């Protein structure tokens, strides 16, 4: 397995070094091993060389790698995140990763959030009308194509069925934003009609957020547009216990190519202090292994993570006193014990 690793900025680098330690151990037990190549794209390169996503990289990623593992971007020296948009949105759009799966494990149930990842308000269509240097009018267009919403919806509904889900909620705002909202409703209803056994409901995003916080067990699966999904998934992260815990997979529905990244950002407020929780990044490794059908080793890592997060070695954001590397040590210690136990039971 060949993984392109893009640590990025701030705690992105810290949580990805934890993931690389774990991947090195897992590579020992996976047929053919795991090769990780690290790419230095991020704020330093942008500032030194004015390069975000280097020319030709999409081709290299498509042809020479099976998946991407990414940390996060964001640097106070680049206040508008221009480099992060160039790299991250460039990867999502350029590799056509229109499905962003963001699971929200909860006590007494769990929620699967699917966010469209390439269009909507993120298409970069718009501009400003200035008088002098001062913007008087600012426009960001929200664009959706039927083709993308259909491909997204077909993948998500099939994936929810595969996960044994009975209910799915479309989160939209068609009362105020009727054109794209109406397209989403039309595609949702048509695709649901083709998939008996999945019960669909539709909720306005404002009321949905209200209900989600009061009683997340109302929901099993959520499909939604790009910006709503961004916001809803941070609420989901709060419900599961913190942004440091949340993982995501961005998938091309046709090729299956995947980019795995934690939901959080570069967290400049804690970067360099050792307080970054690598759990979300390590859960990305779990999602990646599952994506490649390596269910057993994925489950072994998942249970090592669940056990370790209940110890004092957990990071302060989830109530522990550990550091990024102490928590990773704790995970590796449990993972090693389980992997050698599993090997012993084979021999």
Q: Does residue 84 touch ligand IPM according to CB under 6 A?
A: yes
Q: Is the Cβ of residue 29 or residue 231 nearer to ligand NAD in the bound state?
A: 231
Asked if 72 interacts with ligand NAD (CB under 6 A), we say yes
Is residue 80 involved in binding ligand NAD (CB under 6 A)? Answer: no
DSSP string across 250-281 = EE-TTT--EEEEESS---TTTTTTT----HHH
Give me the phi and psi of 196, to 5 degrees please: -60, 150
Residue 97 binds ligand NAD (CB under 6 A):
no
Residue span 231-260 as binding mask against ligand NAD, x where in contact by CB under 6 A, dash where not: ------------xx----------------
What lies within 8 Å, CB to CB, of 163 at 6+ separation is: 112, 221
Which is closer to ligand IPM, CB of 10 or CB of 241? 10
Distances (CA, A) of 203 to 142, 158, 160, 198, 219: 19, 21, 18, 16, 11
Rg (CA), the chain: 20
List beta partners, residue 258: 67, 251
Cα–Cα distance between 230 and 278 in angstroms, integer? Answer: 20
Per-residue binding string, ligand IPM, 233-272, x by CB under 6 A, is ------------------------------x-x-------
- Judged by CB under 5 A, which of 14, 75, 96, 230 binds Mn ion? 230
Kindly report the number of other CB atoms within 10 A of residue 337's CB atom: 11
The dihedral built from the CA positions of residue 159, 163, 167 and 172, taken in this order, carries a sign that is negative
As measured in angstroms, the least distance from the Cβ of 78 to ligand NAD is: 8
Task: Label the pairing between strands 247-251 and 126-131.
Answer: unpaired
When asked if residue 267 is in the footprint of ligand NAD (CB under 6 A), the reply is: yes
Region binding ligand NAD by CB under 6 A among candidate stretches 55-63, 68-76, 150-158, 298-306: 68-76
Query: How many CB atoms are located within 10 Å of the residue 151 CB?
Result: 19
Residues 291-330 close enough to bind ligand NAD by CB under 6 A: 317
Q: How far is the CB of 317 from ligand NAD (least distance, A)?
A: 4
- As measured in angstroms, the least distance from the Cβ of 318 to ligand IPM is 20
| Closest by Cα among 49, 35, 8, 70 to 247 | 70
Task: Find which of ligand IPM, Mn ion, ligand NAD, none residue 148 binds, CB within 5 to 8 Å per kind.
Answer: none
Q: Which of 230, 297, 300, 313 binds ligand IPM (CB under 6 A)?
A: 230
Nearer of residues 42 and 253 to ligand NAD, judged by Cβ: 42
3-state secondary structure of 176: coil
Min dist. Cβ of residue 12 to ligand IPM (A): 11
Residue 213 has a CB neighbour count (10 Å cut-off) of 11
Tokens of 155: 């993948």
Chain residues that interact with ligand NAD, rule: CB under 6 A:
11, 15, 72-74, 81, 84, 88, 243-244, 261, 264-270, 276-277, 280, 317
Chain residues that interact with ligand IPM, rule: CB under 6 A:
84, 88, 230, 263, 265
């Amino acid at each position: 397995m060949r993984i392109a690793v893009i640590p990025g900025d701030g705690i992105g680098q810290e949580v990805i070094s934890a993931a690389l330690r774990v991947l090195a151990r897992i590579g020992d037990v996976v047929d053919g091993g795991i090769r990780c190549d690290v790419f230095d794209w991020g704020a330093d390169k942008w500032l030194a060389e004015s390069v975000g996503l280097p020319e030709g990289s999409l081709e290299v990623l498509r042809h020479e790698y099976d998946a991407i593992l990414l940390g996060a971007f964001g640097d106070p020296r680049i206040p508008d995140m221009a480099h992060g948009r160039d790299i991250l949105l460039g990867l999502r759009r350029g590799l056509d990763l229109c499905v962003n799966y963001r699971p929200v494990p909860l006590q007494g149930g769990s929620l699967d959030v699917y966010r469209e990842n390439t269009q909507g308000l993120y298409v970069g269509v718009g501009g400003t009308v200035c008088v002098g240097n001062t913007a008087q009018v600012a426009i960001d267009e929200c664009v959706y194509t039927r083709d993308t919403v259909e491909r997204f919806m077909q993948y998500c509904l099939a994936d929810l069925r595969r996960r044994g889900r009975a209910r799915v909620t479309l989160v939209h705002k068609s009362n105020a934003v009727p054109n794209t909202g109406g397209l989403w409703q039309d595609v949702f209803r048509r695709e649901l009609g083709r998939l008996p056994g999945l019960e669909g409901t539709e909720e306005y995003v404002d009321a949905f957020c209200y209900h989600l916080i009061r009683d997340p067990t109302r929901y099993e699966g959520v499909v939604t547009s790009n910006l709503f999904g961004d916001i809803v998934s941070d609420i989901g992260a709060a419900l599961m216990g913190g942004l440091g815990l949340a993982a995501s997979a961005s998938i091309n529905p046709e090729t299956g190519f995947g980019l795995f990244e934690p939901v959080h950002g570069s967290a400049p407020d804690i970067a360099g202090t050792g307080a970054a929780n690598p759990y979300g990044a390590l859960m990305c490794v779990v999602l990646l292994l599952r994506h490649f059908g390596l269910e057993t080793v994925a489950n072994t890592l998942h249970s090592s993570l669940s056990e370790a997060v209940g110890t004092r070695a957990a990071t302060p954001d989830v109530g522990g006193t550990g550091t990024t590397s102490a928590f990773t040590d704790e995970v590796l210690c449990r993972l090693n014990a389980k992997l050698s136990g599993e090997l012993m039971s084979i021999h």
